[in-house]
Every structure is written in structure tokens, then in C-alpha cells.
Amino acid sequence: MTLRDTLRYGRLIFGEQYLYLPTENMDSSMFSNFIAIAVRPEFPYYKQFDNAAQWLTKYGLVDHWKEEQYRRLTKSKFVATKTNELITAFDLKHLKSFLVIYLNCILFSTIVFTFETIWKYFDGNCRLFDTNRTSNRI
């Protein structure tokens, strides 16, 4: 729902005396449509783009385009599908590849950890290959 439809609905519920609904023209709101084109601040055609967007909105071409698109959508034939056909739940069959990758990574990290632990144990206790040994250590 648009803001205007929301206000209409609110007026029906709470009463017309509590909510103000402005008239539908360009003078009743600051912006009826937002048209945005991302440009840098020092863009030489900044004012021209701004004027073109105001012109398109002022003369109703944006609203005309929206209505035309809506009309096209309502005329086109959509095939309604059941929601159950579109939504399928994940189960282990769908997640098998992630589980296999996860288990392989755990196995690899366990092997590396074991190798590093054994390497550290032998490196600290057995210095057979230490080339920087001096005979007179204090």
C-alpha cells in the first residue's frame, strides 16, 4: 500500500476528523515520486538532470509510465503455481557437499595439529641436527 492508501485506511478506522488527507496534486506534497540518478557533485549537467526529473514528474509522464507498466502486467498471463512447489526444505541430502568439505577440513587440521605437536616435541628434546651448537655452553 502506498502512503496515501494507508492514510485512507486510517481515516476509515479512526475517523475523518483525526487524519488529514491532502489533495492529489503537485502542490500538496513536497515529492510525489522519487527519481534518482547517481552523479558526482561537480557533474556539469547536474541542473539539467534535476530539471528533467522535475519536468517528467510535473507533466505526469512518470505516473503515465507506471500506469502503462501496471496495465501490461495485468494483461500478461501469469501461471499461478502452488507455494509448495516453490519451497523445498533443506535436508541432509542437499547439505551433503558442505558436510563432506567440513569433515575434510577437520581431518586436515587434526593431522596438521598432530604433526606440529610431534615436531615441537622432538625439536625441544632432541637436538641432533642443531648446527649452531658450541662446545662451551654455560
Going from N- to C-terminal start, the domains of the chain cover: 1-29, 31-76, 90-127
Residue type, 42: E
Residue 1 has a pLDDT of 47
Contact 12, 44 (CB under 8 A): no
Cell numbers describing residue 4: 496515501
Nearest-angstrom CA–CA distance, 48 and 127? 79
21-50 pLDDT, tens digit per residue, is 666 665 555 555 555 666 677 778 778 877
Q: Report whether pLDDT(104) > 90.
A: yes
C-alpha cell at 78: 501469469
**98-117 mean pLDDT:** 95
Q: Alpha-carbon dihedral of residues 24, 27, 29, 30, nearest 10 degrees? A: 150
Mean pLDDT on 80-108: 81
Mean pLDDT in residue range 104-121: 94
Q: What is the pLDDT of residue 135?
A: 53
- Regarding pTM above 0.85, the answer is no
pLDDT more than 90, % of the chain: 15
DSSP state of 80: P
